[in-house]
Amino acid sequence: MGPPQDMVTVRRLRLGIGVVGIALPFVLTAGNALFAGRLTLLESISGAYHTAMRDVFVGSMCAIGVFLVCYRYRPLDDALSSVAGVLAVVVALFPTASGAGDGPVSGTDVLVGRVHQVCAAALFLLLAGFCLFLFTRTDPAVVPVTPEKLVRNRVYRVCGAVIVVAVALAPASTLLPDAVRETVKPVFWCETVAVLAFGIAWLVKGEAIIRDGSGPGADPT
């Protein structure tokens, strides 16, 4: 007899969030290179809004948002994932002003861009909170703490710390000389590292890797 249907749904949502998150920077970079006819890094992942990959970026962020809103596990998880889902949709629909081109940027564009930045930072920090505090919870009264669970907790903590550091470094990169920022694209790399970290954490929580030996659904913590 397989795991309860609700746990199957929870696991699939976790996997969906992880897969879309990990794929996003690679798909956007490859697609942009295909349309541009040359490999060039975006100013940021969000900067894909101002390229031919706009629909892919918006659709992916909305998909992540829907997955997060639909995610139901425990009351605190439900509330925070719903907030994170709304933030993901706002990030998709309120584009960053960065990467908009050489044309004039209006006051409205700047305001929308700031909403985007605040919501993106809040989203990343919420996802880091999932890794650091929610995914690491252990209830020995429900299931024994397995060696695999201890390994997963270490992965969650590393992923959460990586997200926090990446979010902090992204705005700090504005202190770099313009020539360096133009060449290295530090914001893109910071966002990519953060996205990969949260994607890996959700894949692990979705039992795609580092699974308990007793099979899927064995560890509900």
Q: How many domains does the chain have?
A: 1
Quote the pLDDT of residue 221: 58
The reply to whether 217 falls in a domain is no
The reply to whether 151 falls in a domain is yes
Q: How many Cβ atoms from other residues are within 10 Å of residue 129's Cβ? A: 16
The reply to whether 218 falls in a domain is no
* Structural domain for 133, as ranges: 5-100+109-205
The reply to whether 79 falls in a domain is yes
Residue range 114-136, pLDDT digits in tens: 999 999 999 999 999 999 999 99
Please name which of 105, 119, 141 lies closest in space to residue 61, comparing C-alpha atoms.
119
- Helix axis angle for 107-129 and 147-172, nearest 10°, is 160
Confidence class for position 3, pLDDT limits 50, 70, 90: very low
The reply to whether 155 falls in a domain is yes
pTM: 0.89
The one-letter code for the residue type at 65 is G
Quote the pLDDT of residue 89: 97
The reply to whether 164 falls in a domain is yes
3-class secondary structure, 109: helix
What does the block give as tokens for 149?
A: 């669970």
Phi, psi at 213, each rounded to 5°? -65, -20
Q: How far, in Å, CA of 82 to CA of 67, rounded?
A: 9
